[in-house]
Structure 1
Amino acid sequence: MTKPESAGYDYDVVISGASLAGSAAAILLARRGVRVALLERRSDPDAYKVLCTHSLTANAYPVLDELGLIPALKKAGAVRNDARWYTRWGWIEPKAAPAGPALPHAYNIRRSTLDPLIRAHASQTPGVDLLLGHQVAGLVQEAGRTVGVRASTPQGEREIRARLVVGADGKDSAVAKFAEVPARQYENTRFGYLAHFRNLPLHGGIGQAWFLEPDMAYAFPNDDGVTVIAVLPDKKRLPAFREDLEGSFYAYVRALPEAPPIDSAERTSKITGTVNYPLLSREPTAPGVALIGDAALTGDPLWGVGCGWALQSAQWLADAVAPVATGRGDLDRSLLTYARKHRRQLRGHQFLAADFAKARPFNPMERLMFSAAARDESLARHMHLFASRLIGPLRFLSPVALAKASAVNIKHRRAAVPPEPLSHTET
């Protein structure tokens, strides 16, 4: 009798981390006939990530749709993530064109709601075995490539062999560490704190973000009537926050233009955050290994793109490797396809984010685009597409867009200059 092609492997793919990226990848791979072990170090199926923007940018909508999660998100109370952004030139308020389609969107939803939802969805997907309380303690390697993991479990250590090991285990990825995938680190000279509030009205009932050059803040409405407020100041302000966190947090929010009335709202969480959150970039593959989500690329939290990129990278990986993960094809070539896609889609975004993480004022190009977007509806929509990561830096800063922004600002300056009075001889 001929041995099946899967002989010698417990699964086709082992995924470490059953949060957004890992659960999404498990679902998408299993639907394509791949046998998946989904490992989660925490034993509680309702565990969730606390420190997060809780925002799924519009680039994630197609992935959510493919996963079949849109109805469940709506039922759970997810809020469309429409938003407006404050700049020194005024508010940028993207709106759909009068005769055009609605602006693309996704959702704001707290991770305490989202993580258990997508993890349960994964556990109910045929072909996925959710293994809670399993933490990767090492990799199994043969002939220079990874062929499985050693997992620490409540019952002791066990070995799980697979053709592909996926690290979906966050910015401090154990899989990346054991595979000796180096990380390139970019300093983030802002720190961040956030808290959850109930009964907090926002202008227009939509998200708000403040670009204060160099400080930042945002307020995003979420499910169950909860609004998340985050402040991201320059580290020069850190000593004051350390001396009086609550007082500094409230004073910072009160000073925002059109500040949300936090003093009359009910705070439903602690003020939590981090004083050191560098941006990280890793090569997304190694022999027998793929990295997705924050394990491959950790962006600046002020942009709220991490959740969207986690879901997108899961989809890119599934599309690339599912046809060969069962042993019928060249896995290394498929991993190369995934790596190229990941770099092509995200490297430019990360470059700009790393530069802005230096906590500097806007540079001349940013001043041009942000000021024009505050003055022109079409450029506000263009800004929305970029903020939603539906277009990349090259399209955002295309010659056509720059020319349009320049024309808008020239027209604005001319309109702001009063006409010279007519002389006596001209009257």
Structure 2
Amino acid sequence: MTQPESAGHDYDVVISGAGLAGSAAAILLARRGVRVALLERRADPEAYKVLCTHSLTASAYPVLAELGLVPALEKAGAVPNHARWYTRWGWIEPRAAPGGPELPYGYNIRRSTLDPLIRSRAARTPGVDLLLGHQVTGLVRESGRTLGVRASTPRGEREIRARLVVGADGKDSAVAKFAGLPARLHENARFGYLAHFRNLPLRDGIAHAWFLEPDMAYAFPNDDGVTVLAVLPDKKRLPAFREDLEGSFLAFVRALPEAPPIDSAERTTKLIGTVNYPLHSRKPTAPGVALIGDAALTGDPLWGVGCGWALQSAQWLAQAVAPAATGRGDLERSLAAYARTHRRRLRGHQYLAADFATSRPFNPVERLVFSAAARDAAMARHMHLFASRLIGPLRFLNPLALAKASAVNLRHRRAAATTAHPPGKP
């Protein structure tokens, strides 16, 4: 059982990392009566993550609503992230059913806007102390259990004790390392580069993604008229791509089907990228420790799910541990509940993403579903729910959906055969 209220603790919870996951967790925990120290190694309150898809999936919308951020995001110019996807069978273009509700959506918004916004919201939340310039250098441990952190600060080393330490410090998490939670790595056989552009119009003003098998690309419209444009080619292309990085990037984009008019747009950032970005998976808990966001699981950038999962994992943690974090429950049982939720909600998605990150072409089931989604409005909506991470792989590929996809493709083949050989003609 946990120790009595405030016995030997400076805070109930210490969170390392004041990005999306950490700031969201701090807000949600504090609103539940938890005293939170939110540590951020960078001293600048306007600091933000640079290498990012800048997209919040629709699955995270309930978290944004609970945080009260939706009006602020819309005021800041966040763009609802409706999308269309190119495949060899044509474009998948999800649209609301006639007379039906609007399709669920999240937002595209640059991290330079989003990170300071949510961090300042955390700093103003009663019960949260935002401690800038604090970098975790170790964990306070007794009898195999974590009881706080050691941190370097602008005033020297400091020890902060708490019932729970939360690692929200990214894929290279120091908290995970100190807690002995190694990462399982999944190779990513694609590399990626992105840049921000102004005056880059996209059809219907919505996001575009290109499944080129094995290469990928996407264009996401963001706040302030900025579009994030990314290319993710197979690593086999890397040596030639590197010979002329900028020229290769431009040539790749120009060759896309319905390519955005990149030559008439204004590039506002340098090319940002990585040639080695494996997918990470870690056990999200240890005694007295929890991991959220990229510290627990780093997805493939091509799917744009990391920001959404950061917010969702923060919510799952707050819901599971808040009572125990204040001394009113069994913390280890609460952490186990969080780990189960994390595993149940994300393991299937990560399995498929890791498999696709091998840079393979579509497998037979994917060919069946993607081709049907390019030909049928209901299947396109089904694809939208999965891409938005509102349904998991089991629902996405359930027998009824596969039967529907088979019927759609059979009708398409029959119609094509009739067009090629009209009745009564040899």
Relative to the length of structure 1, the TM-score reads 0.98
The aligned residue for residue 253 of structure 1 is: 253
The aligned residue for residue 129 of structure 1 is: 129
The aligned residue for residue 190 of structure 1 is: 190
- Is contact 2:57–2:106 with CA below 8 Å preserved after alignment? yes
The aligned residue for residue 162 of structure 1 is: 162
Residues in 2 aligned to 1:423 and 1:396: alpha-carbon distance in whole angstroms:
41
Q: Does 1:328 align with 2:328?
A: yes
Aligned residue identity for 2:173: S
| Percent of aligned positions that are identical | 84
1:317-353 CA distance string (max 9 Å, x none): 0000001101111000000000000000000000000
Q: Does 1:286 align with 2:296?
A: no
Aligned residue identity for 1:193: Y
Q: CA RMSD in A?
A: 1.1
SS in 2 for 1:181: coil
The aligned residue for residue 377 of structure 1 is: 377
The aligned residue for residue 29 of structure 2 is: 29
Output aligned runs, 1:127-276, within 5 Å. Answer: 127-276=127-276
- Is contact 2:195–2:229 with CA below 8 Å preserved after alignment? yes
Residues in 1 aligned to 2:237 and 2:118: alpha-carbon distance in whole angstroms:
37
Residues in 1 aligned to 2:240 and 2:221: alpha-carbon distance in whole angstroms:
28
Residues in 1 aligned to 2:423 and 2:78: alpha-carbon distance in whole angstroms:
57
Q: CA deviation at 1:88?
A: 0.2
Distance 1:90-1:423 versus aligned 2 partners, 3 A rule: closer
Residues in 2 aligned to 1:97 and 1:136: alpha-carbon distance in whole angstroms:
50
Aligned residue identity for 2:24: A
Residues in 2 aligned to 1:189 and 1:77: alpha-carbon distance in whole angstroms:
34
Q: CA deviation at 1:182?
A: 1.6
SS in 2 for 1:324: helix
Aligned residue identity for 1:27: I
The aligned residue for residue 60 of structure 2 is: 60
Q: CA deviation at 1:204?
A: 1.0
- Is contact 2:34–2:127 with CA below 8 Å preserved after alignment? yes
Residues in 1 aligned to 2:144 and 2:206: alpha-carbon distance in whole angstroms:
51
Moved over 4 A (4+): none
1:145-184 CA distance string (max 9 Å, x none): 0000000112111000000000000000000000000211
The aligned residue for residue 11 of structure 2 is: 11
Residues in 2 aligned to 1:5 and 1:131: alpha-carbon distance in whole angstroms:
23
The aligned residue for residue 306 of structure 2 is: 306
1:9-41 CA distance string (max 9 Å, x none): 000000000000000000000000000000000
Residues in 2 aligned to 1:158 and 1:323: alpha-carbon distance in whole angstroms:
27
Residues in 2 aligned to 1:209 and 1:314: alpha-carbon distance in whole angstroms:
28
Aligned residue identity for 2:39: L
Residues in 2 aligned to 1:348 and 1:174: alpha-carbon distance in whole angstroms:
26
Residues in 1 aligned to 2:63 and 2:347: alpha-carbon distance in whole angstroms:
20
SS in 2 for 1:18: coil
- Is contact 2:80–2:108 with CA below 8 Å preserved after alignment? yes
Q: CA deviation at 1:421?
A: 5.2
1:34-76 CA distance string (max 9 Å, x none): 0000000000000000000000000000000000000100010
Residues in 2 aligned to 1:354 and 1:266: alpha-carbon distance in whole angstroms:
34
Residue-pair matches, total:
422
- 5+ unaligned residues in a row in structure 1: which ranges? none
Residues in 2 aligned to 1:27 and 1:10: alpha-carbon distance in whole angstroms:
18
Residues in 2 aligned to 1:329 and 1:198: alpha-carbon distance in whole angstroms:
52
Residues in 2 aligned to 1:41 and 1:365: alpha-carbon distance in whole angstroms:
45
Relative to the length of structure 2, the TM-score reads 0.98
Residues in 2 aligned to 1:244 and 1:135: alpha-carbon distance in whole angstroms:
38
Q: Does 1:412 align with 2:412?
A: yes
Distance 1:423-1:314 versus aligned 2 partners, 3 A rule: closer
Q: CA deviation at 1:422?
A: 3.6
